[in-house]
Amino acid sequence: MASLLAMSALALGGFAAGVINTLAGGGSLLTVPLLVLLGLPGALANGTNRIGILVQNAVAAWRFRAEGVRVFRETLPVLAPVSVGSVVGAVAISRLADQTFERAFGLLMLALLIPTLREAGGRRAMRRPARPWPPAAALVANFAVGLYGGAFQAGVGLALLAVLAREGHDLVRANAIKVIVVGALTAVAVPVFVLSGAVAWGPALALAAGYAAGGALGARLAVRGGERVIRAALALAVVALAGRMLGLY
């Protein structure tokens, strides 16, 4: 796992995932299976991936602000329910055995494949609603996003974007809010994985380097129009890696 080739693969995978995560979400569908393919157990790969996610979102949040997208006030109502849900989800998933986690994650990837293919580019299907959700509904939805993100991480950006769009945010600002919120829920979940020994620091740092670069580029692309082509390639990778984790071949 510590070879130069493996570290380079993780950095490149982190870069691609950072761009995908910042533009829409689902980059962990690439990096967590990559960690597993390189020899980490599923639960350890899940925890290790969180370090890169944290770095990526910090860099992306800074880049959005540098591009003139400032969303601090809009982010505050989302942070609390998402953070509480993240802690609950992280504690729950850290108690699962590696094989259980790998099968659950494989099923999750297959479930996420359908909306990934339907979006045809990630953002067109999510438009601002005529009537945004009331505060109570938004609170419940944001807690659910945090619960999911704390447990699985992969695809949480897509879920959060859908919720933020339903709350009435345009998609550029929703992306900026998303990277702050996902960064926050990751920050409160990471200590759970660190304390339980579910982080491999060498691979985590290699991923983080790639994630940081991808987050910076992704934020720039999001502000200037975004890029949608990568979804088709990601969907194919999800099918192949989900099948392997489910033991289909």
Picking from 82, 106, 98, the residue whose alpha carbon sits closest to that of residue 43 is 98
- What dihedral angle (degrees, nearest 10) is formed by the CA atoms of 234, 212, 36, 94? -110
Domains: count for the chain: 1
With contact defined as beta carbons under 8 Å apart, do 198 and 43 qualify?
yes
Task: Look at 238 and 217; give whichever has higher pLDDT.
Answer: 217
pLDDT in tens, 142-191: 888 888 777 776 667 777 877 887 787 877 888 899 899 988 888 888 99
pLDDT of residue 150: 75
Question: Which amino acid, residue 88?
Answer: V
**Three-state SS sequence of the chain:** CCCHHHHHHHHHHHHHHHHHHHHCCCCHHHHHHHHHHCCCCHHHHHHHHHHHHHHHHHHHHHHHHHCCCCCHHHHHHHHHHHHHHHHHHHHHHCCCCHHHHHHHHHHHHHHHHHHHHHHCCCCCCCCCCCCCCCHHHHHHHHHHHHHHHHHCCCCHHHHHHHHHHHCCCCHHHHHHHHHHHHHHHHHHHHHHHHHCCCCCHHHHHHHHHHHHHHHHHHHHHHHCCCCCCHHHHHHHHHHHHHHHHCCCC
Residue 37 has pLDDT above 50, yes or no: yes
With contact defined as beta carbons under 8 Å apart, do 139 and 78 qualify?
no
Distance of CA 224 to the CA centre of its chain: 21
Query: 22-31 burial string, b = 16+ CB within 10 Å, else e?
Result: bbbbbbbbbb
C-alpha to C-alpha distance for 207 and 17, rounded to whole angstroms: 9
pLDDT in tens, 51-68: 999 999 999 999 999 989
Residue 229 has pLDDT above 50, yes or no: no
Cα angle: 217, vertex 62, 155; to 5 degrees: 60
Residue 107 has pLDDT above 80, yes or no: no
Picking from 145, 149, 136, 130, the residue whose alpha carbon sits closest to that of residue 190 is 149
Alpha-carbon separation of residue 3 from 15, 63, 147, 248 (angstroms): 18, 32, 35, 28
Residue 81 lies in domain: 4-245
